[in-house]
Amino acid sequence: MKVRVVTKHEGEGEFPTFAAGTPVEMGADCTHFAGWSACVIDGRDTYVPRIYVENGKLTKNYNPTELVQEVGDILSVDEIVYAWVVATNEKGVKGWIPAEVVTSV
């Protein structure tokens, strides 16, 4: 599925990919995005979908990097998780973007 960015999105920096099995220190639940929690992974503050964590460890490889995108950019959707989209942009960069800033093409 393809989507178009309708609101510019600024990310919160780049992260490495954390391997499945990496310990996660869970924090408070997000108030704006249901299903997400603040956390610390490998000493880095970030957010994680709660379905990616079981018994205090990641259940799959996870990279929390958000895409930085401009209005009109076209993305290919890989996955949708709790109101966020994992997508790849036209440059081949993969990351997260809130579903509220994109529309289907």
If you average pLDDT over residues 53-70, what whole number do you get? 97
pLDDT of residue 13: 86
Region 2-12+66-104: CATH code = 2.30.30.40
Cα 105–13–83 angle (5° rounding)?
Answer: 40
Q: Any idea which residue has 């959707």 for tokens?
A: 77
If you average pLDDT over residues 3-11, what whole number do you get? 96
If you average pLDDT over residues 19-25, what whole number do you get? 98
If you average pLDDT over residues 25-49, what whole number do you get? 96
pLDDT band at 12 (very low <50, low <70, confident <90, very high): confident
Per domain, the residue ranges of the chain are: 2-12+66-104, 24-58
Q: How does DSSP assign 46-98, residue by residue?
A: EEEEGGGEETTEESS-B--PBP-B-TT-EEEEEEEETTEEEEEETTS-EEEEE
